[in-house]
Chain A
């Protein structure tokens, strides 16, 4: 319970520090409140996305988690703040956005390794403002026992809940390429 409160407090403090203040006065001042980090949201972030790695000595299996420390949405309604930290509504991301991502990943084949991927994603809506289909491309670095620059791309459906993403980090000998079934809510 104490850990839960501590984690929620840290996330809440980050959001309060980085997000715009709530503004609501008249009809001309829209309700503009950053989505809160609820316990349900926190639990959903724990669900990993499965992935397979290939291009190394043998195929690898892995799990990956996604965090968004900062996101700028160019698809959100223009009267609202385009900035989000950690908690991001699906449409805010899928309708067009650029985000800083941090993704811890665990890959295992004959050997195993913890990796941290970090970089920048851009998401572009393709169908139904991105709720039905969106394209994401990105670049960054992959840090672990070995480190590498990486590029990635993929598509996502159902408001970004499910996606198929390919990442290529040539200097990660365990698995230079990974194919991830992304599972993500918010």
Chain B
């Protein structure tokens, strides 16, 4: 039922009741007016009669003959009948002579004494009529009181008057109904005009429910409806700005590379994207409605990012078997108290395969390095040891050329053995996982410096090691790192007049950076990128011996700890090697990598 029909339905019953009441009251009012008109007429007939003298004499003498004539004249004005009665009500004369001698009812004496015409409603032969009684009294004389002579009664018909009253009320009804019909028509069209903003709002709502947000309607007035339209337009625009349509949401869900499953409070799947279906080897339609427990092997997941979010590794039960996945589960509670579970997952079987392949490859590499180290070094040892044996022979001692050549063979063998050891160490460190325990870098640096000093007792190197530097890391690897950096500093200060090696910590770009500084020979910063390449050397091995893996190894160890390694140096101005643990400084790493030997 439309609002307009409701308003009309509300108005029309009142109109109908009003019409009824007006008609009824109109009828009674018209009848009252008409009846009193008739009364007045009958009184006028009686009072205005010019031959009243004759009637007085007739009554006094009670002579019917004398009275008949005036009575007949009284009826000529449309009266039904006229009668002359004595004070007792006996009919002396009547316009209808058959009535003479009968007794008629009279108004009470008290009324008659007032000598005024008395109208009454009567019924004559079953029809309504007005009968007016005029009491007739003698003129009062000297010492002679007024005496009642009798009465004159004139009866006028009322039937026609009542019919007129009815006709009047029927006409009134017709007029009112006509007016109401016109008013209803006006109301019908008027309401349509008045309620147009409401129907437009209804249309807009219908359009918004199926179409895009942001549609508006014209604001036609400044009243409440206009305000409603304005607010509605604002709402629509706001929705367009903030709401995400279901299409968009579903498109995003489908585009995501993870499998996504949404369930209701009971754990039944309400939505599953294609990726989820593919991983499980089913269609999204097969998943919807099924309990999510059917597809997930329960694992204890770790909470992350709040009490309602969990993640970890789990297994899914697919059509073709179990699938290892990385899973995240979020419990949602809407404002209405409705609960839901969002499960997103990523198939990690490829990753797991790659991991296991990598582990296999690492194992193979390890076995290979192990065998290589043994099998390559065994003949080398034979070369060097037998060279020594021959060199000890008297024949070799007597031939300097032979001794020199054998010496060269022996030192080449030793050098090669050192390189093999360095290579093995390098590959071992690269493969090792860094542990994370509390490590005293100061203590390790002190021990390593002492070892260096003990092994090279001929040199006096001033060492300055900052105390109480502790951090988290792999003790073995950090020892190797500091050993390499300190021995590097030791080595390159061998030609300095007052050699000095420092270990300490300082703030660099907001991070704690450890450093090993020396006042040795230094190097050209153009060659920064070269020092990280294994077996790459910036100095003559005869002058500064070494395998060429010390600094590359140091850099790998730092990287394993999630830190950055960089250096600062100038030729003959010493060198400083910096490293951080657990914090990367991209700018420093870039500076190292981008150093170009071709720059001048």
Bound pair (A, B): no
